[in-house]
Amino acid sequence: MGEQPNRGPYRPVGPGTPQLHSAFWEADWEAARRGTLAWGFAAFFIGYGGYYLVGMLLGALLPDNSGGFDPSEPPDTGPLLLLAFAPNILLGLVPAVLSWWRGNGLRSDFGILPKRRDFRVGFACGLCALFGSLAVTLVVISLSGPPPETGLTRLMQGDRTVWLFLFALFAFLGAPLTEELLMRGALWGALEHYRVPRYVILVLTTLIFALIHQEVWRTPVLLVGGLAIGAARMITGRVAASMVAHATNNFLPALLLFAVAQ
């Protein structure tokens, strides 16, 4: 191999480097290749704050919504259904804007364009997330009973419309893009910049990923899924792999959401 750049916080390495586990040489190479992501903390907090701000504005503007706007409780039908994802867009938009403004662009800062290896690793980790989440769901149901009814449950009992299809499509592809740019992109990159150990980053981002969903019943499920999704990012050093893992994990629920509707 030729001389490798050293612009990031990590020293470039290759397979067999004695100081590091050989399984993560690729992630260390990616960390060394990219520029600084110290601005990732700002992207995370602004993006997450924008998520809540848009939710509050929608809660104030929408009629018959005195209880506030909750993205996890989408309207039953029609184009308003897509508003459930309006706050979610801010999660990915803010890291993207700051990457273009302060960084070197999405491809360099986050590795957003997937390589063949990203598909392989992401698909494998996504299957682990999916089946691990299903197993934990069964355990939680056996211990605490069936999950509480939510807006998504009511959608599955409603009509199969083009709006429901677009909703399911965003759950499959859009949410993994925006959430991974925030969590395993901006936040992970900022923690990595300050040399936080990779396993600590994996655990921290998984905890935050589970908690920001604010769904108490699903928290154990999200923890297991988040660990598997984060593992794809940790192995490859690229957000593209965790996006593939996230989309793989979301595929079956999104498919059932649309298929079960009448």
- Rounded to 5°, angle at Cα 257 from 254 and 262: 145
User: By the 8 A CB rule, do 239 and 118 touch?
Assistant: no
Helices 219-236, 239-260: crossing angle, 10 deg rounding: 140
Q: Please compute, for residue 251, the number of CA atoms within 13 A of its CA located in the half-sphere on the CB side.
A: 13
User: By the 8 A CB rule, do 236 and 121 touch?
Assistant: yes
What's the pLDDT score for residue 33?
84
Does pLDDT of 22 surpass 70?
Answer: no
**Average model confidence (pLDDT) across the chain:** 84
Domain ranges of the chain: 23-104+116-260
What's the pLDDT score for residue 262?
64
pTM: 0.85
Rg (C-alpha) for the chain, rounded Å, is: 19
Does pLDDT of 18 surpass 50?
Answer: no
DSSP structure class, residue 16: T
Give Cα 178 distance to the centre of its chain: 7
Helices 239-260, 162-169: crossing angle, 10 deg rounding: 150
Kindly state the helix (H) or strand (E) to which residue 99 belongs, with its residue range: helix 86-102
* pLDDT tens string 44-82: 999 999 998 887 887 777 655 544 445 555 555 567 777
